Amino acid sequence: MTPRRTSKKSQPNTSDGKVKSDNQQNNPDELFPVVGIGASAGRLEAFTQLLNHLPTDTGMAFVMIQHMASEHESALSVILGRATEMPVHEAQDGMAVAPNQVYVIPPNASMTAEKAPAHLPLRS
């Protein structure tokens, strides 16, 4: 996956040594990594262990996909939300991807994101 852009920069010092506030440094062109993580059905523990051990401020977005039949409804985003303090979302078409958040691809979709909001076409 391609690095994404974020609206927050790290907090650089000004010439007088003070840290700039977020609203002083809003830059939508800053890149951040997007990490894709996949597992077969029944390997939920691998996802939860990973999220339990990740810091919540990595500066990365995490996209989770679990192999599962498209007719099944997934509770994965709710389950993973219990394993981390990062926000966990079921990915939706047109959703913006942001750092320090987890996105779960629904069973009936694939996901692409390149310098734009996520696009989730239904699988054929």
Q: CATH number of the domain at 111, please.
A: 3.40.50.180
Q: How many residues does the chain have?
A: 124
Does residue 8 form part of some domain?
Answer: no
- Answer yes or no: are the C-beta atoms of 20 and 14 closer than 8 Å: yes
Residues 105 and 89: their CA atoms lie apart, in Å, by 9
pLDDT at residue 13, as a whole number = 39
Measured between its terminal Cα atoms, the distance across the chain in Å is 22
Count of domains forming the chain: 1
Phi, psi of 119 (to 5 degrees): -125, 125
Encode pLDDT of 37-93 as tens digits: 998 877 889 999 999 999 999 999 999 998 776 666 778 899 999 999 999 999 999
Give the range of the structural domain holding residue 122, as residue numbers without chain letter.
Answer: 25-124
Strands (E), 10-122: 30-32, 34-39, 61-66, 88-90, 101-104
